[in-house]
Structure 1
Amino acid sequence: MPAKYACLATLHTNKQTGETEIRFFKELGEDNLEKWQKALNLLEELTASERLLQFVMHNEQQLIDELTHAAEMLTKKSDSWHGVTRANISEVYVIVNRCFLNYLSSVRTFIDHTDSYLNRKFGKQSEEFREFKGELSRQFDTCFAYRFFYKLRNFAQHVGLPISSVSFTTRADRVENCIKTSLTPTFNSLQLLKDYKEWGPAKFDLQKQPEEFPAIPLLFEMSSSVESIGRFVKVLIKKELYDAAFMINEETSELTEENFDVVLVDQFFENEDGSLARFSQRDIPLDLVCEILDSLKE
């Protein structure tokens, strides 16, 4: 049977043997355990949300990296005897659309996850959830990229690829005495409007765009909106988040050593002779605690 108590502990790994030693340093009562569990739940929820935000930024960077690599490849081919072929551009077109689809999907996942998390945490009728919905509405109303990409994801899921074309151009720079190249993925406003009828308010934005308009500036604008939403969510849970981080920091302040992990240990199971058989443990992210305390100080 598990014992009805829990402890804070540190894990120390012997570099020579690879064995890990656990050292218990503070016992927790039932009330204190519940407080700790709530605090760790909050940090884990924040971590999950921030990872999804990181996915968005990673997918943005991957698209930029692929474009950079493709531009270098096409530039080299443009200097060769055969030059840049249609097959080369077609390959880049597929890569760019793949990266863009990943980006759109990660944006939608982040927003939907955050919506669900705040709904579960505070309730649909709560002030916090209404404020979050208000922030989404603000982004939708003030940011063309947000309105457009919000609908573009549905277009890409049900109708066609988001990027209509990828253009590669070269020009002679007589000042610097070199050839400069440009690789530009674009949207086609006429095609988007023709193939999809559910653009909502973004329809009027698309009607104002030239037939071909560049994708990358809007990519950066959308990422800025997503990061703004992430910061807004942190503000919504600021007090609760700070209180949780402060409590954990205070409870572990006696630890001065480095290079060990701190864990919450509970569910102790004993052998028939009373010796310890096994237990469960939960990581305590002290690095995240310090980051929260630094970022949320008033």
Structure 2
Amino acid sequence: MSPGFRNLHPGVVSHGVDKMNQNTPTTTDIRRFGYYIPKPTGTMDIVVHGRVASEKNLTEFHEVISVIFKLQPIIFSFNVVERNYQELTDSIQELRSQLDNSLATNAEPISLIMDRNILIIQKISNFLSSATAFLAQTETQLRNVYKKGSPELNAWNEKRHKIHADNFSYFFLYELRNFNQHCSLPFSSLNIAGERVSENASMLFNINTMILRDGLFNIGFTWGEKNTKRILEQAAPEFELLPLIPEYFHFLSQLCLDAVQLQSVQLAGCASYFDVLHRTLKIPAGAVPVIYIGESTSKETPPSRREIIPMMQFKYLLREYSKLINMCETAL
């Protein structure tokens, strides 16, 4: 796939022009490709290519880059889940470190544990809520892109439902979000135990977020007969929450990857298109590629409006796509 304007040549070149007002009205909507280079002084060097982009060129351009805006909502939603997961992991590690320091400094550990308990509740609640939001938002985005009842949407939902049916961690944490949102805290107690492997060894702390299974059912929350039966059958009378979270995150990563891979052909096409465009325009390092809109008022003045070509957004998507692939392969 090519942008269709391999013979573009520089038209107006202006150095040191002040930042442009993108909302200035123009008398025409002709468009030319080009770029600008921001300067530390707040000005910019500008290149506007001479050939006017045809309607066919512009239609192809917007069709190719549409993959970026189809996938961005999915990736951004998953990024929120990922950040909440990392913050939860970090908060656990920070608590272990602070407990170690409390022994060395004779600090009062009870107030520390109470404060960390609240923080861990916050981080788990954030993670569960963002996970549910990601699943709902991704389904909505796929429905918008492929339409209700499409093979793509159906395949993604079937995968999600199978994971829910086959894996207690996914099932329980998905349902726990509703319990946490509408009824009570996400775990029953924060248990901290320290032990030494030998008399002269340092104290090692274990941190456990425990759930009392029967306590889930006597607090007034309606789990539903099917969910209640599954929890009673698959959960121990007392079980730990934290080990379930990495498993849940792995399944969410896989579902995000599956959603993105539905557009893998379009991603490859966009990469090829931008490669040709970059070479055609001879875009230097640090420059921002744009489409200039309207005519220049003089040879020394560039068009007053521009549309940024989303090459940076595309690079971000590719980086996140590659990261998802590595995460899912590593987890296996």
Which interval holds the TM-score relative to the shorter structure? 0.7 to 0.9
CA deviations over 1:51-76 (Å, ceiling 9, x no partner): 22121111111011111112222333
Cα distance in 2, alignment partners of residues 292 and 83 from structure 1: 48
What code does the residue aligned with 1:282 have?
I
Amino acid at match of 2:70: E
Tell me the SS of whatever aligns to 1:251.
helix
Q: Distance in 1 between matches of 2:79 and 2:245?
A: 15
Report the CA distance shift for 1:211/1:126 in structure 2 as closer, same or farther (over 3 A). Answer: same
Change (3 A) 1:112 1:7: farther
Amino acid at match of 2:285: N
- Is the CA contact (8 Å cut-off) linking 2:33 and 2:290 kept in structure 1? yes
The SS at the match of 1:253 is helix
Give the fraction of aligned pairs with identical amino acids, expressed as a percent: 17
Structure 1 residue corresponding to 2:74, chosen from 30, 36, 49 = 49
Go from structure 1 to structure 2 and tell me whether the alpha carbon gap of 1:2 and 1:165 turns closer, same or farther (over 3 Å shift): farther
Q: Deviations over 1:183-239 (max 9, x none)?
A: 222222211133322256443342132233222211100100010001101221222
Give, in angstroms, the shift of residue 259 of structure 1.
2.6
Match of 1:146 in 2: 170
- Amino acid of the structure 2 residue aligned with 1:203: T
Aligned to 1:63: 88
Counterpart in the other structure of 1:116: 140
Relative to the length of structure 2, the TM-score reads 0.78
Structure 2 partner of 1:158: 182
> Structure 1's 101 and 56: CA in aligned 2 closer, same or farther, altered over 3 A?
same
In structure 2, C-alpha distance between the alignment counterparts of 1:50 and 1:290, rounded to whole Å: 10
Q: Does 1:279 align with 2:279?
A: no
Residue correspondences, number: 294
Aligned match for 1:136, one of 149, 153, 160: 160
1:287 shift after superposition: 7.5
2:269 maps to 1:215: no
Alpha-carbon spacing, 1:2–1:282, altered in 2? closer, same or farther (3 Å): farther
Equivalent residue of 2:223, what SS? Answer: coil
| Pair 264,184 (structure 1): closer, same or farther in 2 beyond 3 Å | same
The 1-side partners of 2:266 and 2:106 are apart by: 65
Q: How does 1:253-268 map to 2 (within 5 A)?
A: 253-254=279-280, 258-268=284-294
**1:292, CA displacement in angstroms?**
4.1
Do the aligned partners of 2:30 and 2:52 also contact (CA within 8 Å) in 1?
yes
Of stretches 126-135 and 255-264 in structure 1, the one that deviates more from structure 2 is: 255-264
Q: Which amino acid in 2 is paired with 1:40?
A: I
**Cα distance change of structure 1 residues 121 and 200 upon mapping to structure 2, 3 Å threshold:** farther
SS of the counterpart of 1:228?
Answer: helix
Q: Larger deviation: 48-57 or 276-285?
A: 276-285
Alignment of 1:102-113 (within 5 A): 102-113=126-137
Which whole-Å CA distance do the structure 1 matches of 2:99 and 2:169 have between them? 29
Letter in 2 for 1:245: A
Q: 1:283 to 1:165 in 2, by over 3 A?
A: farther
- What residue identity is the alignment partner of 1:285? M
Alpha-carbon shift at residue 147 of structure 1 (Å): 0.9
Aligned to 1:39: 64
What residue number does 2:210 align with?
A: 186
Instruction: Please name the residue that 2:11 is paired with.
Output: none
After superposition, the Cα gap between the structure-2 partners of 1:75 and 1:199, relative to the gap in structure 1 and judged at 3 Å, is farther
**Could you tell me which amino acid in structure 2 is paired with residue 133 of structure 1?**
N
Q: Which moved more, 1:183-192 or 1:96-105?
A: 183-192
Q: CA RMSD in A?
A: 3.0
* Corresponding position of 1:224: 250
Following the alignment from structure 2 to structure 1, what is the Cα–Cα distance between the partners of residues 137 and 281? 35
